[in-house]
Chain A
């Protein structure tokens, strides 16, 4: 069954989801190439079963968790979220998945943990983009523990009620709707609880442009373009740009996480 989020204000009912075709044909997943159509073209080579997620670091029950075991333990619900790419385009996506918090609880987070580090599969024989040094593979990402435990933070395993396609990050990916899309790491094989801020791929590649936090913020520009507005995919050639919302429209839910922080400095 598809339950709805309790704090349902976040998924404002006026949000019209993008079509399945739009969501699966226009992707940034550099493990399959840098073009927006490359993932749809090459991701079919990826084997997603069997799949294991290693959860280690500061947890009570570290180990290799089989994907099927995880799915058996989780409650899948639908979340319709805005998705805002750092490149200033956006979509609305009806994800299916479970709260990251539930998975972390399964492993038992220890008191000392402050951050969560994530890692994508590294398998260049199937992920053709990994044969080029576009980024330092494997792709890594990270969240502060309170961000990871937030009820909006999702592990997605489906879209439109169907199994998530490979180009969208099968079999399970992170979705942090108030952050730029690249924070929502795909095809996760490892989750590590740590007390140090973990390195993140785009920050390593271009630290001046991509910070650890990368919260959607119309007032803090990317050095190469403005973040004040965005192009919503699906509007056609003459679509008007729309204003970008603070924290991608989830300000009420998440602003308190960053109280007192200078968001220009911690971009």
Chain B
């Protein structure tokens, strides 16, 4: 089963992720304009983009454990997933700025005054160096430092999960499940993940 999935994954080109991810905000925009996002389209768009980005961050964190624990190799998709997550966070931020809050003076006040926005913003800022160095040249150029730098994804994912939990009203399970997934995926890294990769391929 895992072998079949690996074979299948080998056949899927990476550009598929960029294509789907790249089109997604425009698909939402079209839905929003044609009434497909309900009566509060700006909020629906903002939420969909944020949630999708968080899902991609979690997927990105799951790739190494999946490879080591069950032998599923999706590593070639990881850069695409990370870059797409950044792109969706950027879109989420733009929708918030342009369609939701609208007033520039209020935006600065919000960033400084409201902790859940401060935290979301910090997560976005930390993603910038990661997005900039997500190319082969940077990987070669930075060498070991690249691996250290890209551990920032751990912090980014935690901030993203926290941002969602903090904006929920009342006690809600959904944001806690996202944050819980992030914490779980980080905790299993603490001990070092035992590798089962060397299973027979027959």
Contact = CB atoms under 8 A, between A and B. Distances in A.
Given A223-B114, A225-B110, A228-B106, A237 B173 contact: no
B109 interface: yes
A238 B166 CA distance: 27
B45 interface: yes
Interface in B96-129: 99-103, 106, 109-110, 113-116
A177 to B, nearest CB: 20
Interface stretch (A29-37, A43-51, A93-101): A29-37
Contacts, number: 70
Nearest to A129: B170
A34 B169 contact: yes
Contact of A25 (B38, B101, B110): B38
Contact of A237 (B32, B168, B169): B32
B170 A241 contact: no
Given A226-B106, A226-B110, A241-B103, A236 B41 contact: yes
Interface in B35-83: 37-43, 45
A26 B170 contact: no
B106 A37 contact: no
A41 interface: no
Query: How many interface residues does chain A have, given as a range?
Result: 20 to 34
Contact of B38 (A36, A132, A221, A223): A36
Per DSSP, are chain B's interface residues mostly helix, strand or loop, or mixed? helix
B40 A26 contact: yes
A226 B114 CA distance: 9
Given A30-B170, A132-B173, A237-B33, A25 B102 contact: no
Contact of B103 (A25, A135, A229, A238): A229
B25 to A, nearest CB: 12
Contact of B39 (A135, A205, A233, A241): A233
Contacts of A224: 114-116, 166-167
Contacts of A133: 171
B145 interface: no
A231 B140 CA distance: 49
A241 B102 contact: yes
A226 B106 CA distance: 8
A240 interface: yes
Contacts of B170: 30, 34, 134-135, 205-206
Contacts of B200: none
A240 B102 CA distance: 8
A234 interface: yes
Contact of B40 (A132, A226, A233): A233
A172 B104 CA distance: 42
5 contacts: A25-B38, A34-B169, A37-B38, A231-B42, A233-B40
Given A36-B38, A228-B106, A237-B37, 11 more contacts: A22-B39, A30-B170, A87-B169, A89-B43, A205-B170, A206-B169, A224-B166, A224-B167, A229-B106, A237-B99, A238-B99
Interface of A: 21-22, 25-26, 30, 34, 36-37, 87, 89, 132-135, 205-206, 221, 223-226, 228-229, 231, 233-234, 236-241
